[in-house]
Amino acid sequence: MISVLKLVKALILLGCLSKCSAENVPTTDLEGRLEFPSSAPFNITTKITLNNGEYTTYSRTDGSFVIYNVPPGIHQLDIDSKTFHFGQIKIQLLEEAMDAPKCLEYAFPGAPKRALKYPLILNPKATLQYFEAKKGFSIFSLLKNPMVIMMLFSVVLMVMMPKMMEGMEPEEKARMKEQMKNQQDPSAMLTQMWSGITGGEEKEADTKKRIKRG
């Protein structure tokens, strides 16, 4: 029974000592201001957290904020904005210099650190976009269509073909016209192709020469 009473007294004494030590720890208020672009609403308020939610506050309509009763140590300040991206702030508070915290800003994970003056003045690094911007009409997108490319190629041929035929000799023109006629008649085109493969044209030319000689 006596040992139990001693244990209870010891626990009460430890509680009192811890309470006294906690009361003796110096604290300070962290102050700062968020500066938004001119296009932002004038009454915007933003959630601000310290040490992943250990301390929480909201900015006023003018962008200023205060986090009360912050003890010494290294703290992490985050701006939870749904519209703008702010960098992450590391704040070091020393017991002997509670009114002059050292602040470092990381614009994004992996970015080089940048020293900040106190009181904090924080600017957004980017505007958050949750939807992809719709692309407008572009004439170049039509050139990616195979049908459009074929149509343009046909138009170019129609325009350039007469000019190409102007400088050709009469025999070449006649041959070109004959080929175009054969293209309109599939059977004639196949006959011409087959005769070219089997040497039919050479045989016809030899026959014509023999007739002329005879």
* CA 27 – CA 20 distance, rounded (Å): 14
Which is nearest to 49 in space by CA: 71, 7, 77? 77
pLDDT number for residue 117: 93
Interhelix angle 186-198/170-184, nearest 10 degrees: 120
Domain ranges of the chain: 25-127, 139-197
12-47 b/e (C-beta count within 10 Å ≥ 16 → b)? eeeeeeeeeeeeeeeebebebebebeeebeeeeebe
Q: Which of 144, 147, 149, 87 is nearest to 120 (CA)?
A: 87
Residues constituting the chain: 214
pLDDT number for residue 78: 95
Distance CA 119, CA 100 (A): 9
Class of domain 25-127: mainly beta
Q: What is the phi-psi region of residue 53: left when phi exceeds 0, alpha when psi lies from -120 to 50, beta otherwise?
A: left
> pTM for the whole thing?
0.54
Strand, coil or helix: what is 51?
coil
Say what the pLDDT of residue 17 is: 47
Contact criterion met (CB below 8 Å) for 87 and 122: yes
In the chain, the N- to C-terminal Cα span, in Å, equals: 147
pLDDT of the chain, 214 residues: tens digit per residue: 456 555 555 556 555 544 444 457 889 999 999 988 876 665 678 999 999 999 999 999 888 999 999 999 999 999 998 889 999 999 999 998 888 999 999 998 888 999 999 999 999 999 888 887 777 777 777 777 888 888 887 888 777 777 766 666 777 777 777 776 665 566 665 666 666 555 555 555 555 545 555 5
Question: What secondary structure letter does DSSP report for 35?
Answer: -
pLDDT at 58: 93
